[in-house]
Amino acid sequence: MIVLREGTNGWTCITDWPASPGNDPMCIDDMFAKWNDALGAGAPLTVDRPGVAYMLAGGSDASNTDPFAMAPAAGEEWISTPAHVMLLSPGGFDAANFAATPKQDEPYIMWDGTPYEHLMVPVVPISQEAMGDVSAEMQNTMSAGPAGIVKNATIMGNPTVEGGEMVVLQEGTNGWICYPDRAVSPGNDPQCNDTISDAGFAAGATRTVPSAGLSYMLAGGSDESNTDPMATGPAAGEEWISTPSHLMFMVPGGFDTKFFTTDHMSGYPYIMWAGTDLEHIMIPVVDMPME
């Protein structure tokens, strides 16, 4: 391949793979660059830190089980995935938590059990039509994630009386749990957590989760502080932090500031609450606002 433009931020973007029927350019961070080099050479690979890659134009793959397949096996078709993020985690991903077969609208493990295993995370939110005839509160909460997640998740609703417990609007079957917009924040911020992520946030222990955890906030979100998880409002002279459509990702051991920024306005994946027991990364899937 040839260099069309020299970069300055450590990311590498690679053009569409012409062998595939779909359009599949990708942008990869440094860990994913090592992954890509190893894959291309058929070489051993140790994933020693989290990695993030973007394929927001979607992608096509010849096989979900064979990293070296150049075309689908006889009788099979190309695997097409809509706009998605790819994630690497030390120790890989647990097939008990994520599907190991391709999905259009929920995360799945690609090349499970190989050195090149990674998580494919579709980031297209559920459509109004796919929501069906549900209440306005349900619609708002379901806007946090893709259809495959929210249609089968437990959906929580706000308390019916002030100071009361949240109510269950829908009993789920897939282990995900979705929460409504936080009334205290100025933005719209419903959230859907997988089992690991939900337990990590609930225990205040996201750096000691047993395996990788994922959350969707595809409607965006507002936070009081990027440094203090216990803040009840912005510090004096500061404003609420607004993040557009994004994912939240947690891994055992947390994240290293050598590889991920803590600047919440950078437009890059960034560490929230770095150095605390609630540390995780925020992965924007649309452009950050300029203001």
d(CA 223, CA 232): 9
Q: What is the pTM of this model?
A: 0.95
Say how far residue 282 (Cα) sits from the centre of its chain.
Answer: 8
For 131-189, how does the pLDDT look when each residue is reduced to its tens digit (9 = 90+)?
A: 999 999 999 999 999 999 999 999 999 888 888 899 999 999 999 999 999 988 998 99
- Output 291 or 281, whichever has higher pLDDT: 281
As given in the structure block, the two tokens for residue 227 are: 């440094």
Strand partners, 247: 216, 283
Residue holding tokens 């992520």?
A: 197
What is the longest distance spanned by two Cα atoms in the chain?
64
Residue 287: per-residue pLDDT: 87
For 234-281, how does the pLDDT look when each residue is reduced to its tens digit (9 = 90+)?
A: 999 999 999 999 999 999 999 999 999 999 999 999 999 999 999 999
- Provide the pLDDT confidence category of residue 190 given band limits of 50, 70 and 90: very high
Q: What is the DSSP letter of 207?
A: G
For 224-237, how does the pLDDT look when each residue is reduced to its tens digit (9 = 90+)?
A: 999 999 999 999 99
- Provide the pLDDT confidence category of residue 291 given band limits of 50, 70 and 90: low
Q: What b/e string do you get for 130-142 counting C-beta neighbours within 10 Å, with b at 16 or more?
A: eeeeeeebbebbb
Strands (E), 62-141: 79-81, 84-88, 108-110, 118-122
CB 160 within 8 A of CB 167: yes
Residue 163: per-residue pLDDT: 80
Helix (H, G, I), strand (E, B) or coil at 108: strand
For 15-71, how does the pLDDT look when each residue is reduced to its tens digit (9 = 90+)?
A: 999 989 999 999 999 999 999 999 999 999 999 999 999 999 999 999 999 999 999
d(CA 54, CA 83): 8
CA 189-175-65 angle, 5° bins: 105
For 97-117, how does the pLDDT look when each residue is reduced to its tens digit (9 = 90+)?
A: 999 999 999 999 999 999 999
Per-residue pLDDT, averaged over 2-18, amounts to 95
Residue 160: per-residue pLDDT: 84
